[in-house]
A = this chain, B = another copy of it.
Amino acid sequence: MAVYTEVPDDALATFVESYGLGEVIAFKGIAEGVENSNFYLATDQGQYILTLYEKRVAVDDLPFFVGLVEHLAGHGLQCPVPVRDNEERAIRELCGRPAAIFTFLDGISVRRPKTKHCEQVGRTLGQLHLASDGYELVRPNALGLLGWAPLFAHFETEADGISPGLEQLIAGELDYLKAAWPTDLPSGVIHADLFPDNIFFRRDEVSGVIDFYFACNDAFGYDLAICLNAWCFEADHSYNITKGRALFRGYESVRRLSVAERAAMPLLARGAALRFLLTRSYDWINTSSTALVKPKDPLEYARRLRFHQTIENASGFGLA
């Protein structure tokens, strides 16, 4: 949770005026979001989210993200879309940072997802994959297979300081996945970070998807495997096969998985677990003690990875 940049009232008023959004009625920094500074903004014309992009988001990627949500919303997915200013620009600058104003999305995220939420998430992810069809910009997955080894190299010698045996677990898994990773699965734009924080619900129905700043081109099944990791494990780290079945059922109600995707699910789940194990380990080691954002526990994902290593085929996840 963090707001990294303070926005003075006079700079804000000038900025909002250039969108023709009227008078600023309320403005509050939001203690959520790790990468950017976000603000709740109300004017006499409506509610918005103002985002200032801090250093972790590459400026060159912003057209991809902004164009993507406009494309997805245009194809029926509920997500915040940028408001364009009086000169039709979606990305501007405020307080020395790239900035954009987005439409406000009603709904709240669930902290302890139930089975019904998992089904909804599966359906929404399927809708997102279908809706992304035809989007023309491309963004490689910097945190895909090719990114994992370089990321590990940054903290390899310190990994056992997080937990003894972690270095060996990751090194072995990297070798295994490098040899076995499927490369010809159905692909397109994926969300790549569809954790419970990033889906809003109203009355147990999805009201929208947020935070597309990891979106990229990769295998659809990998996106589903990320959700499997993020939504279908209990607080005691055990896999909940009922939730897994619900996730797959929801997804397949919109987009049917191919035989190859099913077969690849254990590998994809391992890869997804490894990806979050790597980034969380890196953050764990590299977060200064004065940081506003507390790093998340990497070991949750070491446990998920070890579980996935025991799964021989998709039926182990409840995928029929």
Q: What is the interface of chain A, defined by CB distance below 8 A to chain B?
A: 1-3, 6, 8-10, 12, 23-32, 40, 42, 104, 106-112, 202-203, 289-290, 292
Bound form: Cα–Cα A23–B27 in Å: 23
User: Which one, B28, B42, B106, B111, contacts A9 given CB within 8 A?
Assistant: B111
Interface SS, A side? loop
Complex CA gap A108/B6 in Å reads 13
Closest to A203 in B: B23
B24:A1 contact, CB within 8 angstroms? no
Q: How far is the CB of A29 from chain B (nearest CB, A)?
A: 4
With both beta carbons as reference points, the residue of chain B lying nearest to A42 in the complex is identified as B106
CA distance A23 to B205 in the complex (A): 13
Q: Is the CB of A2 within 8 A of B25?
A: no
User: Which residues of B lie under 8 Å from residue A110 when comparing CB positions?
Assistant: 9-10
Q: Which residue of B lies closest to A196 (CB)?
A: B9
Asked if A31 and B9 make an inter-chain contact with CB atoms under 8 angstroms apart, the answer reads no
Find chain B residues with CB under 8 A from A40 CB.
28, 30, 40
Given contacts A2-B31, A26-B106, 17 further A-B contacts (CB under 8 A): A6-B111, A10-B110, A10-B111, A23-B202, A23-B203, A25-B106, A25-B107, A25-B108, A26-B107, A26-B108, A28-B28, A28-B30, A28-B32, A29-B30, A31-B31, A289-B289, A292-B292
Q: How far in angstroms is the closest Cβ of chain B from A30?
A: 5
Residues on the B chain within 8 Å of A30, using CB: 28-31, 40
Task: State in angstroms the CA–CA spacing of A106 and B26 once bound together.
Answer: 6
A292 to B3, CA, bound (A): 11
Residues of B within 8 A of A1 (CB): 2-3, 29, 31, 292
Q: CA A23 – CA B106 in complex, angstroms? A: 11
Residues of B within 8 A of A27 (CB): 108
A-B contact pairs, 10 of them (CB 8 A): A6-B111, A9-B108, A25-B106, A25-B202, A27-B108, A28-B28, A29-B32, A30-B31, A30-B40, A290-B290
